[in-house]
Amino acid sequence: MPRATILYFASLGDLLQRERETCDLPETATSGDILACIATCHPDAASLLSTCRVAVACEFLTDRIRLRGGEEVAILPPVSGG
Amino acid sequence: MAEAMPQTRSLRASTIHDGPLPRTLCDSATLANPNHGAIATFLGVVRNRHHERGVTRLDYHCYRPMAEALLARLIAESAERFDPALSALVVHGIGLMHPGDIALCIHVACPHRAAAFDACRHLLERIKADLPVWKREYYDDGTSAWLTGS
C-alpha cells in the first residue's frame, strides 16, 4: 500500500493533537476512501472527518486517484477565511 | 502623428501575508491605469462581536502552498469569466489579529464597473468557499472556537 503524508488543520489538528502523520492508503482512492481510512485509525474524529475535504498535492480531490506513495494528502475541515 | 497609447498591461498578484494587512496594501490606487475605468475593492475587517459574543482576537491558520496556488488560479478564473483585461491584487493575512485589523483585501480593476464589481464579488465568494484558511476566535469570556464555514 502506498504510504502518504497526511496533513491535519485547524479543529481537526487540535482534535487529533497532531499536524501530520504518515499513513498507508489504498492504491486507488476517492476522497471518501481516504477519509474512511483515516477514520478507522481515529474513530473519535469520524464525525468531523465526515465534513472534511481532501486535497492531494495542493489540489482538491474530486475524482478517484492512483497513489504512488510519498504524496502530501491534506485533510481540510470546512474553511473560514475572509 | 498619432499619440502613442499608454503602455499598460494587466497586473495580477496574490499572496498570503503574515499578520494584519498593512494599510498601504489596501490602497486600491495601486491598480489605477488608463485602460481601467473602474476599481472595485473589498476589505475584510476583524469584527469585535460574533453572535452576541465579544471577540478579543482571531488566529488565522492556512495551508499555505495550496492557498497561494488557489488565489492565483481564482484570479485567472475571474479574468476568463468577467474580463480578460482584468487586473487584480488579492492578499489574505494569517496569524494573530485584533478587532479593526484588515485580514483580506481584494482589488479588481477592469475597463468597466460592472465587471469590476462582479469579479470582486466572485473572488470573495470563492475565497470564502474554498481557500484553505481557518480562523479561531477568542472571546472576552476566555473561551475560543474554530469557526466552520463562512
Where b means 16+ CB within 10 Å and e means fewer, B87-112 reads: bbbbbbbbeebeeebbbbbbbbbbee
Cβ contacts of residue B32 below 8 Å, gap of 6+? Answer: B39, B109
Tell me which residue of A60, A70, A12, A54 sits closest to B136, measured CA to CA.
Answer: A12
> What is the pLDDT, as a whole number, of residue B150?
63
Nearest by CB: B146 against A10, A74, A82: A10
> What is the pLDDT, as a whole number, of residue B148?
83
Are residues B133 and A60, on separate chains, in Cβ contact within 8 Å?
no
> What is the pLDDT, as a whole number, of residue B10?
86
Are residues B150 and A14, on separate chains, in Cβ contact within 8 Å?
no
Instruction: Give me the average pLDDT of each 10-residue run along chain B (150 residues).
Output: 55 97 93 96 96 96 98 98 97 98 98 98 98 98 89
Given the C-alpha cell 479561531, which residue does it identify?
B136
In this complex, is the C-beta atom of B82 within 8 Å of any C-beta atom belonging to chain A?
no
Give the pairing type, strands A3-8 and A72-76. Answer: parallel
Domains in chain B: ranges and CATH: 12-21+34-137 (3.90.1170.40)
Are residues B129 and A74, on separate chains, in Cβ contact within 8 Å?
no
- Is the sign of the CA dihedral A44, A48, A50, A52 positive or negative? negative
Strand ranges inside chain B, DSSP E: 12-18, 38-45, 49-50, 53-62, 87-97, 102-110, 133-139, 144-146
d(CA B134, CA B127): 11
Res A19 pLDDT > 80: yes
ipTM reported for the complex, 2 dp: 0.95
> Which of A14, A59, A73, A79 would you mutate first to test chain B, the one with the most B CBs within 10 A?
A79
> What is the pLDDT, as a whole number, of residue B12?
96
**pTM of the full structure:** 0.93
A5-25 mean pLDDT: 97
Strand ranges inside chain A, DSSP E: 3-8, 20-24, 28-29, 53-56, 59-60, 65-66, 72-76
Give me the residues of B, 1-30, that contact A with CB < 8 A.
Answer: none
Secondary element (H or E) of residue A12 = helix A10-16
Res A30 pLDDT > 50: yes
Res A69 pLDDT > 90: yes
Contact B125, B44 (CB under 8 A): no
> What is the pLDDT, as a whole number, of residue B9?
73
User: Which of the following CATH numbers is that of domain A3-76: 3.30.200.20, 3.10.20.30, 3.30.300.30, 3.40.50.2300?
Assistant: 3.10.20.30
Strand, helix or coil for residue B95: strand
Residue of B nearest to A8 (CA): B63
